[in-house]
């Protein structure tokens, strides 16, 4: 080793100064959050994390749109807290389908060890609860949660909170993270709210809270009260004491703060306005980022419609579908147990489930007919044709698309151009019968899919006793596609949130078109998210951003042709659906049902300016609300407040 005394003193000084600078930078909010996180931090993510960490208390809602990396931002916050306190512990409550994603992201992105509570843990907790109820004293280290003290995050499903609330321990755990609260049962949310309520004196409460939701439903008065109860428990308690709703109390405080700003000098307004915002704004603990603000970082969508001409056997199915719809329109469906009129169950009951089955694989056709339980004209012939006629125009269209995708790779190889990563394709098959059919048939058309080239994610017939086993089974099902050599992933239309495929695929084919606009939006969101490709394109300033490609296969003269046109008018395939109220979705679904039942009159209503404008107007209203300051009456005071957040009141 060289003798340090031989080094140039100036170079030693410069190296030491740089080392001290790096040490100081690590203590900065943004650097401390991203230090050691295996993700490329984006400007809006750093802004959100810095805003949260700069507050004296962490009780925040991250309400970014789908695909903007809410989980990564939460991990950055956890990472910053652990850098100052390595013993920092977190309890994470999320829908069961998201636990595996959380577990993986914590470790691979944040190097944070997490533990998913399993059946063995629940058995130990039950024994501990029984011993405690019997008056048997046990040491704190015997608590079931203490067995996993080496893990910095404890991952809980909602049922664990409902059945065994002792997993939540604010004395041992410092932070509570709630993911997708709108998906949790109301009683679970109430229990979590109690555990996070620092205004209560009867028991310990979590000192830090993060809530993650792209659709927190703040326009709904009931849900607004729930979210405010989580973020602002003291003010909600004051509102209750005053006999007011939380929203009304916030509005009153907000208005009083604005009045106090009127007449102040510009310098005083700058200071006092910031204080007013941090003290009284209902949005002070809410951050919201939208794709409209950061569109350069997201892929563009190539949307294609493939219209299919039905063959002879499929024409018979369309005739049977028409008979079912006519019976339903005239009230004959009542005998089948359907009650999906206005205010009823909607499109997830007979005859619509039968209609969807008749538009899918031959096995699905037979199963749909067998479920009818009554004879209809032409039904026997349709079922017989589903056994004997192997023609499938939808399958032919699918193979044409796949041939084009795979053929482009061979053309590139023959022309001597550099090889690219093999294209992978997500196919929305619809139901289990269609998934089974495609899994068996596609390798016959494409030899490269014969050996593990097709992965399938099926709906479990029955949940196992272990939620961890169910989660692991789902991960194992998609792992050949995400990590391995599988080129095709077959999924049903029930797969929505919690499945992130943007790093694996940019192609999605709707072999079976879902009838719910929100389902379509969520499915496209599995690949239309922040990815390394889209981030690199934005960083390089490319005019042509990364792209995702969407195909939907639509049979002519079928109900899905009208449906596809209606969804296209709503621009569901062109861009993410804006957050809208439940009332708007109820009206849209009512119009879709009317369109399917009465194609001519329903089409005018469903595609008219009122229905299309309902989503556009709601999106514009929410967009304006996102950019509004605070909903105060005094404009002079309003102009002094910092531009941040969105107004909860009056949405």
Q: What confidence tier does 488 reach under pLDDT thresholds 50, 70, 90?
A: very high
299-308+392-575 CATH pick, 3.40.50.720, 3.40.50.300, 3.40.190.10, 2.40.110.10: 3.40.50.300
Residue 340 pLDDT exceeds 60: no
Residues 6+ apart with CB under 8 A from 646: 218, 283, 286, 288, 622, 625, 626, 627, 628
Global pTM reads 0.68
CB 527 within 8 A of CB 462: no
**pLDDT given at position 460:** 60
Residue 604 pLDDT exceeds 50: no
For the segment 34-77, what is each residue's pLDDT rounded down to a tens digit? Answer: 666 767 778 888 888 988 988 888 999 999 887 788 999 999 99
Kind and range of the H or E element at 29?
helix 29-34
SS3 content of the chain, % helix, strand, coil (to 5): 55, 10, 35
For the segment 238-295, what is each residue's pLDDT rounded down to a tens digit? Answer: 999 999 988 899 889 989 999 999 888 888 888 888 888 888 888 899 998 887 777 7
Residue-by-residue DSSP string for 283-348: TTTEE---TTTSGGGS-EEEEEEEEE---HHHHHHHHHHHHHHHHHHTTGGGGGT---STTS--SS
Average pLDDT over residues 108-119: 89
Residue 628 pLDDT exceeds 50: no
Residue 205 pLDDT exceeds 70: yes
**pLDDT given at position 93:** 96
**How far is residue 619's CA from residue 105's CA, in Å, rounded to a whole number?**
31
> C-alpha distances in angstroms, 333 versus 4, 341, 364, 589?
91, 11, 21, 19
**pLDDT given at position 327:** 83
The alpha carbon torsion through 442, 446, 448, 453 (nearest 10 deg) reads -10
Q: Between residues 30 and 431, which one has the greater pLDDT?
A: 431
Where are the domain boundaries for CATH 3.40.50.300 in the chain?
A: 299-308+392-575
**pLDDT given at position 541:** 60
450 by Cβ neighbours in 10 Å (0-12 / 13-18 / 19+) ranks as exposed
Which residue, chain included where needed, has tokens 């195909």?
A: 551
CATH match of 4-214 with 3.50.50.60: no
CB 231 within 8 A of CB 60: yes
Q: Between residues 489 and 371, which one has the greater pLDDT?
A: 489
Residue 569 pLDDT exceeds 90: no
**Adjacent-strand bridge partners of 156:** 93
Average pLDDT over residues 159-173: 90
**pLDDT given at position 379:** 84
Q: Between residues 177 and 299, which one has the greater pLDDT?
A: 177
- Helix/strand number for the chain, H first, E second: 26, 13
For the segment 387-407, what is each residue's pLDDT rounded down to a tens digit? Answer: 877 788 999 999 999 999 999
Q: What confidence tier does 623 reach under pLDDT thresholds 50, 70, 90?
A: very low
Q: Pairing state of beta strands 547-555 and 507-510?
A: parallel
CB 594 within 8 A of CB 601: yes
> C-alpha distances in angstroms, 494 versus 314, 343, 520?
25, 22, 10
For the segment 428-462, what is each residue's pLDDT rounded down to a tens digit? Answer: 998 888 999 999 999 999 999 988 899 998 876 54
Q: What confidence tier does 197 reach under pLDDT thresholds 50, 70, 90?
A: confident
For the segment 531-540, what is each residue's pLDDT rounded down to a tens digit? Answer: 666 666 655 6
CB 261 within 8 A of CB 272: yes
Where are the domain boundaries for CATH 3.40.50.10810 in the chain?
A: 4-214
CB 63 within 8 A of CB 287: yes
CB 97 within 8 A of CB 136: no
Task: Say whether 454 sits in a helix, a strand or coil.
Answer: strand
Residue 92 phi/psi, 5-degree rounding, is: -115, 120
**How far is residue 325's CA from residue 559's CA, in Å, rounded to a whole number?**
10
Residue 632 pLDDT exceeds 50: no
Q: What confidence tier does 4 reach under pLDDT thresholds 50, 70, 90?
A: low
Instruction: Provide the angle, in degrees to the nearest 10, between the axes of the packed helices 186-195 and 221-231.
Output: 30
Q: How far is CA 352 from the centre of its chain?
A: 26
**How far is residue 489's CA from residue 22's CA, in Å, rounded to a whole number?**
45
**How far is residue 175's CA from residue 208's CA, in Å, rounded to a whole number?**
5
Residue 622 pLDDT exceeds 90: no
Task: Say whether 74 sits in a helix, a strand or coil.
Answer: helix
Tally Cβ neighbours within 10 Å of residue 631.
21
**Adjacent-strand bridge partners of 115:** 154
Residue 132 pLDDT exceeds 50: yes
């Amino acid at each position: 080793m060289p003798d340090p005394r031989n080094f140039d003193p100036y170079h030693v000084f410069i190296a030491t100064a740089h080392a001290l600078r790096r040490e100081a930078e690590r203590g900065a909010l943004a650097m401390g959050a991203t230090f050691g996180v295996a993700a490329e931090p984006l400007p809006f993510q750093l802004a959100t994390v810095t805003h949260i960490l700069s507050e004296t208390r962490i009780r925040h809602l991250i309400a970014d749109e789908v695909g903007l990396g809410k989980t990564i931002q939460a991990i950055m916050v956890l990472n910053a807290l652990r850098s100052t306190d390595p013993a920092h512990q977190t309890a994470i409550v999320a829908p069961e389908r998201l636990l595996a994603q959380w577990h993986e992201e914590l470790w691979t992105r944040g190097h944070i060890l997490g533990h998913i509570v399993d059946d063995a843990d629940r058995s130990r907790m039950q024994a501990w609860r029984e011993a405690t109820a019997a008056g048997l004293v046990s040491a704190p280290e015997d608590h079931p949660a203490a067995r996993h003290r080496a893990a910095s995050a404890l991952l809980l499903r909602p049922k664990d909170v409902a059945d065994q609330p002792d997993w939540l321990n604010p004395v041992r755990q410092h932070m509570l993270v709630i993911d997708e609260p709108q998906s949790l049962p109301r009683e679970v949310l109430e229990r979590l709210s109690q555990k996070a309520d620092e205004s209560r004196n009867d028991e310990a409460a979590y000192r830090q809270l993060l809530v993650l939701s792209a659709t927190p439903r703040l326009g709904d008065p009931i849900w607004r009260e729930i979210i405010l109860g989580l973020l602002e428990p003291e003010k909600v308690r004051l509102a209750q004491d005053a006999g007011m709703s939380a929203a009304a109390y916030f509005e009153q405080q907000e208005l009083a703060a604005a009045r106090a700003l009127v007449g102040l000098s510009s310098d005083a307004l700058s200071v006092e306005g910031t204080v007013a915002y941090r003290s009284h704004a209902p949005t002070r603990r809410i951050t919201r980022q939208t794709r409209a603000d950061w569109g350069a970082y997201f892929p563009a969508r190539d949307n294609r419609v493939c219209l299919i001409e039905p063959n002879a056997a499929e024409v018979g199915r369309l005739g049977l579908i028409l008979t079912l719809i006519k019976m339903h329109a005239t009230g004959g469906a009542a005998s089948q147990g359907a009650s999906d009129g206005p205010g009823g169950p909607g499109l997830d009951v007979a005859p619509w489930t039968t209609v969807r089955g008749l538009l899918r694989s031959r096995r699905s056709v037979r199963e749909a007919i067998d479920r009818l339980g009554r004879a209809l004209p032409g039904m026997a012939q349709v079922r017989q044709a589903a056994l004997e006629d192997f023609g499938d125009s939808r399958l032919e269209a699918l193979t044409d698309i796949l041939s084009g995708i795979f053929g482009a790779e061979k053309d590139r190889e023959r022309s001597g151009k550099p090889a690219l990563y093999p294209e992978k394709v997500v196919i929305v098959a619809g139901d289990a019968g269609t998934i089974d059919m495609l899994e068996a048939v596609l390798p016959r058309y494409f030899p490269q899919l014969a050996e593990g080239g097709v992965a399938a994610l099926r709906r479990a017939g029955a949940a196992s006793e272990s939620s961890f086993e169910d989660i692991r089974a789902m991960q194992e099902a998609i792992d050949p596609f995400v990590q391995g050599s599988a080129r095709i992933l077959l999924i049903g239309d029930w797969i929505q949130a919690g499945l992130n495929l943007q790093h694996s695929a940019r192609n999605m084919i709707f072999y079976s078109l879902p009838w719910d606009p929100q389902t379509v939006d969520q499915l496209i969101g599995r690949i239309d998210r922040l990815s390394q490709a889209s981030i690199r394109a934005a960083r390089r300033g490319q005019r042509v951003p990364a792209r995702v490609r969407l195909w939907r296969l639509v049979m002519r003269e079928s109900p899905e042709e009208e449906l596809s046109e209606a969804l296209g008018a709503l621009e569901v395939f062109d861009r993410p659906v804006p957050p809208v109220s439940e009332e708007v979705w109820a009206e849209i679904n009512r119009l879709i049902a009317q369109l399917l039942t009465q194609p001519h009159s329903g089409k005018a209503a469903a595609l008219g300016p009122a229905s299309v404008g309902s989503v556009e107007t709601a999106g514009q209203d929410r967009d304006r609300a996102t950019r509004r300051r605070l909903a105060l009456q005094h404009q002079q005071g309003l102009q002094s407040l910092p531009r941040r957040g969105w107004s909860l009141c009056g949405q």
